[in-house]
Structure 1
Amino acid sequence: MPARPRPSVAATLLNTDQIELWPAALLRARSNGDARVIARASRILRRKSDGRYLAAVVPEGLVGLLPGWSRSEGLEQALDRLEAVEQTRRAPAPDTEGTLPLYGLRQRLETLELDADDYARRTGLALVGEPATLALAGFDRYRRPLWMTAAAGQAWRALQAAAATEGVRLEAISGYRSHAYQLGIFERKRARGQRVAQILTVNAAPGYSEHHGGDALDIGTPGQPPAEESFEHTEAFAWLTAHAGRFGFHMSYPRDNPHGIVYEPWHWRHQR
């Protein structure tokens, strides 16, 4: 494969349908061999369905990190995206490129025996596209990079800082999730014997989670388990209820919401 110039490293996630292009500095090496390559890389091609590292972008070109990586689904689309970034020598600004086309979403839903039109009609949930570019909004409770739209990320940091001035600690539990990641949640739960109808009371169908849009996040506070209803009894929840609206954040799934989603006091969405 021909050598490709090294693009600038920016705190942005370049998104494509099957593959994400991560800043290499934000990823942990999973073997000694990977560590040597990643230390020299600007970006890593990461498969969305399982999080596996496919290849690294180094000064002399691409170095594979997974056997058979060059036959990966969606690789050409990811390389086209990389080529476009290299031509400008800088990553595109988040919130300027819109969302990705919804390739393959209906097929994903068919694997769950879900009719997209019927599901949308029954739940009132909107179809949510994935942003083409996401911005680094800090790190979550588990020290994982937190990806959001630029506007939502800025609002989250301001919200978190304002709470801190009043002695309230807010932690991000999770932010952006891809359609492929959401499908994986369903597949893992089905493998444990849960029915799709049961899973849908807790998780939105792939394509219908607000997390796909990069403007929603689950919020927690130290000492509290993640994504539990008990969060509503914390000082952090009381503070959010009183102040989050000033920063554009709103709780999406209150009790008895019309979407059939269980009460989620931890889930908040930024709306400009």
Structure 2
Amino acid sequence: MRNAPHLLLNTPDIELWPGGLLRARSNHDARLLARASHVLRRKRDGRYLAVQLRGGLMPLVTRLPEEPGVEPALALLDARLSQPARMPPPSGPLPLDGLQQRLDRLGLDASAYAAQTGLPLVAEPACLQLAGFDRYRRPLWLTRGAARAWQRLHAAAAIDGIALDAISGYRSHAYQLGIFERKLARGLDVAAILTVNAAPGYSEHHGGNALDIGTPGEPPAEESFERTPAFAWLQRRAGELGFHLSYPRDNPHGIVHEPWHWCFRG
């Protein structure tokens, strides 16, 4: 991307969003978000913590300085504001601090889980690029390479008369834990959830290179996608554009067949 408004800057606890992309949850939020150049968003629950306005930073929570991880997020914001044109976006992966604490909440051991599934740890990128919007008009965040590859894939499919849409892209470790907690609250157990969702820290979505892909009129993330012309097209053409099906039938990771889940590997 050409400038910061199209980049999501990532820290272990807080995301730094460009203004104008987040949905308002009240009229008060709507007025602030409309004027904000950046928004600090807590990863574990999506809470908006502060907005950067023309006149300075406005906290949206009490005791903002006591928020975990707020200091590195504010330092990153200050750096971006001081030299927005010359400063390159942060690069590299984020540290994996806090991973075992999340797994402890699910009764999982990192080493045992990795040995059982063969899934590698996946760190979150320090910076993600806006790749468009998903089916639900949410911003779609991917790495720079995956964003460009998705746009090429989408365009190539359209030329062939195939409509593809993105269901989801990047997901943080904290968001992945939230998926488990919501399903546990509905009465599912961890073992059942692990057949359809990788444990926090082990999902390809964390790395910003994986996409759940659908087609209009088809329910999201359902095996029935395998019977659509869109899936047949992906089988023929996705590989040449750098995308690969991660979880085919009878895959060795213990995850159900996911015809919708494709990962950019270059």
TM band (smaller chain): over 0.9
SS in structure 2 opposite 1:26? coil
Question: Which of these residues, 77, 80, 84, is aligned with residue 75 of structure 2?
Answer: 80
Structure 2 counterpart of 1:229, which letter?
Answer: E
Q: Does 1:266 align with 2:260?
A: yes
Match of 1:48 in 2: 43
Match of 1:35 in 2: 30
Q: Does 1:66 align with 2:61?
A: yes
| Cα RMSD (Å) | 1.5
Q: Deviations over 1:29-77 (max 9, x none)?
A: 2222222222221000011111111110112221122344442211112
Return the alpha-carbon distance in structure 1 between the equivalents of residues 171 and 85 of structure 2.
24
Tell me the CA shift for residue 91 of structure 1.
8.4
Match of 1:120 in 2: 114
Structure 2 counterpart of 1:259, which letter?
Answer: H
5+ residue gaps, structure 1: 1-7
Aligned 8 A contact 1:176 1:211 in 2: yes
Task: Out of 232-241 and 8-17, give the one that drifted further.
Answer: 8-17
Task: Out of 130-139 and 26-35, give the one that drifted further.
Answer: 26-35
Match of 2:206 in 1: 212
Q: Does 1:14 align with 2:9?
A: yes
Structure 2 counterpart of 1:230, which letter?
Answer: S
Q: Does 1:24 align with 2:25?
A: no
Structure 2 counterpart of 1:51, which letter?
Answer: G
Aligned 8 A contact 2:65 2:71 in 1: no
Match of 1:189 in 2: 183
Match of 1:154 in 2: 148
Q: Deviations over 1:63-114 (max 9, x none)?
A: 12234444221111211221222232248656x6111011111111111111
Q: Does 1:254 align with 2:248?
A: yes
Using the size of structure 2 for normalisation, the TM-score is 0.95
SS in structure 2 opposite 1:100? coil
Return the alpha-carbon distance in structure 1 between the equivalents of residues 8 and 245 of structure 2.
26
1:88-237 superposed matches below 5 A: 88-90=83-85, 97-237=91-231
Return the alpha-carbon distance in structure 2 between the equivalents of residues 199 and 259 of structure 1.
13
Return the alpha-carbon distance in structure 2 between the equivalents of residues 92 and 163 of structure 1.
36
Aligned 8 A contact 1:55 1:62 in 2: yes
Aligned 8 A contact 1:9 1:43 in 2: no
Return the alpha-carbon distance in structure 1 between the equivalents of residues 29 and 81 of structure 2.
23
Structure 2 counterpart of 1:140, which letter?
Answer: D
Structure 1 counterpart of 2:99, which letter?
Answer: L
Aligned 8 A contact 1:202 1:261 in 2: yes
SS in structure 2 opposite 1:129? coil
Aligned length: 264
Cα pair distance change 1:92/1:163, threshold 3 Å: farther
Using the size of structure 1 for normalisation, the TM-score is 0.93
Aligned 8 A contact 2:162 2:230 in 1: yes
Return the alpha-carbon distance in structure 1 between the equivalents of residues 86 and 45 of structure 2.
25
Match of 1:239 in 2: 233
5+ residue gaps, structure 2: none
SS in structure 1 opposite 2:35? coil
